[in-house]
Structures are given as structure tokens and as C-alpha cells.
Amino acid sequence: MDLPAKAKNISVILQKPKYAGNIGAAARAAKNMGMSNLVVAGSAKYDQEEIKKRSTHLAADVVEKIKYVDDISAALDKFSFIVGTTARKGAARGPFFTPRTIAEKITVVSQNNKVALLFGPEDTGLTNDELRYCHAVVVIPSSRKFSSLNLSHAVMIMCYEIFLASLPAGTEMPPKLARSSEMEDMYEQIKTVLTKIGFLNPQNPDYWMTHIRRFFNRTSLLARDVKIIRGICRQIQWYNNQKNT
């Protein structure tokens, strides 16, 4: 069973991978599951020959069009649904999903939106700050005795589950979701307004902003939803300015 055209809307994002070989192996894993979009974020330079060697010649087309960007925000700004992966659980990092539970949503969302599968460095994984970009966080079930997965294995598992969850023809197309850049602009505006009216502690506004992000990530905001929320923020700011003049 091949993925339908929605596969072109799904990208594997590798945040600061340590080894060129893992980039090649991730490209091969993606190609195995019918995906061909790979983005590498970070300023490091990688041995292209090692990447090609680990990807094998059959995934050469994926390797040739790998997009390299300097930072995570540039890697994610065009995506409307971002799924992060982590092996470390904590109150500030969830809520968590398994690959299988999130795969069905990804296949639906990807019909009409760009989806990013975000993977962190091999040794540390994604930080809390990096996970804030994510609309969902995945933990891949594994043995407690040895829970660490190779980067390419994690990529393969995620892509495999999405491959299996491919939707039947005729499923209703979902509406366009807000892009990551639109969401980040909205969060900045919310933080500014809530700090100004005294709801957020100006010494540590990001603490409560993490909870606000989680609140909005429980649903999938459309671009028009973001415009409404930003309009409300502008009106609150205007009213506050009028009140204080």
C-alpha cells in the first residue's frame, strides 16, 4: 500500500544531528516508507560521501534534495502541524502520544497541510525550548532496560506508522491549519499583552506561556482562528492604552 499524494506534505526534520551517517540512514528510512522530504537544521557541516554511503544509491534522490538550514525556527516556519519525538518524559514536555496514536491524525492533517516530524540530536534529544514548537510529542515505546533508539530507527518507526495509517480514498479534506510562523507571532503577541495587563510575571513570562501553548495545542488552530485571537489581543491592548491615558 503506497501513501497517497499527501506524502509530499510530510517532512523529516533533523535538529543538529551529530553524525553524517545517521542523516543518510534517515534518508533511506524515509524513502522506504514513501517519503522524500528531509531537512537538517544546524550550522554543522557534514561529510556528504558518508551520507550517500549510508543512504545507499536507491535513496540518492532524497539525499540530493536535503534542505540545510541554520536554525530550528527556519526549519519549521512553513509547517502547520509539528510532531516532536523524545525519550524523556516530564511535566513540561507532554502530553505524550505513541507513534500509532498520532499517525492517524498526521495522515488526516497532511491531506491539506504541511507536517513536520521533528527529531533531536542523538545524545541529548530535543530540549524543552525546542519542544515548544510542537503540537504533539511522541514517545516511542521501548524496553526500560535499553530505551535509547538510534536516530534512523526512530525515523523509520514514525514513517512506518504513518505509512500504515494511510487513509482510504474519499476521506473529507480538512481545512488549512495555521503555519508555525503564524502561531509563533500569535504567542509573542499574547505574551506581550498578558504581560502588559499583569497576567504574566514579567520576570518569568515563559513559565505560564508554556501552559498557554499547551492549551492551544489541544486543538488544531486554523489560520483564521489565529487572526481572530490576534485581533482580540489588539483590542485588549488598545483598551488598556485608552484606560491608562
The strand order across the sheet containing 115-119 reads 67-69, 37-41, 10-15, 115-119, 81-85, 136-138, 96-97
For 83-117, the pLDDT digits (tens) are 999 887 765 566 789 999 999 889 889 989 999 99
Residues 31 and 65 in one domain: yes
Please give the residue range of the domain that contains residue 76. Answer: 5-164
**Is the model more confident about 135 or about 91?**
135
Residue 202 pLDDT class (50, 70, 90 cuts): confident
Residues 22 and 89 in one domain: yes
* Mean pLDDT in residue range 62-72: 96
- Separation CA 100–CA 103 (nearest Å): 5
Residue 124: pLDDT over 50: yes
Residues 44 and 117 in one domain: yes
Extract the C-alpha cell encoding 105.
491524525
Does the pTM exceed 0.75? yes
Q: Is residue 27, in this structure, part of any structural domain at all? A: yes
> What is the identity of the amino acid at 102?
I
Q: Is residue 147, in this structure, part of any structural domain at all? A: yes
* pLDDT value of residue 2: 46
Q: Is residue 202, in this structure, part of any structural domain at all? A: yes
* pLDDT value of residue 151: 95
* pLDDT value of residue 83: 96
Window from 16-30, 57-71, 91-105, 227-241 with minimum mean pLDDT: 91-105
Residues 191 and 80 in one domain: no
* pLDDT value of residue 49: 96
Q: Is residue 169, in this structure, part of any structural domain at all? A: no
Q: Would you give the distance in Å from CA 100 to the centre of its chain?
A: 16
How much of the chain, in percent, has pLDDT values that exceed 90? Answer: 69
Q: How many domains does the chain have?
A: 2
* Mean pLDDT in residue range 193-221: 90
- What does the H/E/C string look like for 120-185? CCCCCCCCHHHHCCCCEEECCCCCCCCCCCCHHHHHHHHHHHHHHCCCCCCCCCCCCECCHHHHHH
Residue 1 pLDDT class (50, 70, 90 cuts): very low
Q: Residue 189's domain is classified under what CATH number?
A: 1.10.8.590
Q: Are 69 and 169 in contact (CB under 8 A)?
A: no
Q: Is residue 172, in this structure, part of any structural domain at all? A: no
Residues 136 and 185 in one domain: no
Q: Is residue 175, in this structure, part of any structural domain at all? A: no
How much of the chain, in percent, has pLDDT values that exceed 70? Answer: 93
Residues 6 or more apart in contact with residue 181 via CB below 8 angstroms: 77, 78
Which of 164, 192, 212 is the endpoint of a domain?
164
Residues 14 and 123 in one domain: yes
Residues 147 and 188 in one domain: no
* pLDDT value of residue 172: 60
Q: Residue 102's domain is classified under what CATH number?
A: 3.40.1280.10
Q: Is residue 171, in this structure, part of any structural domain at all? A: no
For 14-30, the pLDDT digits (tens) are 999 999 999 999 999 99
- Separation CA 83–CA 118 (nearest Å): 6
Alpha helix (H) residue ranges in the chain = 20-32, 48-55, 60-64, 72-76, 99-109, 128-131, 151-164, 180-196, 205-217, 223-243
Residue 167 pLDDT class (50, 70, 90 cuts): low
Under DSSP, the state recorded for 13 is E
Residues 101 and 138 in one domain: yes
Q: Is residue 39, in this structure, part of any structural domain at all? A: yes
Average pLDDT over the chain, rounded to whole?
A: 90
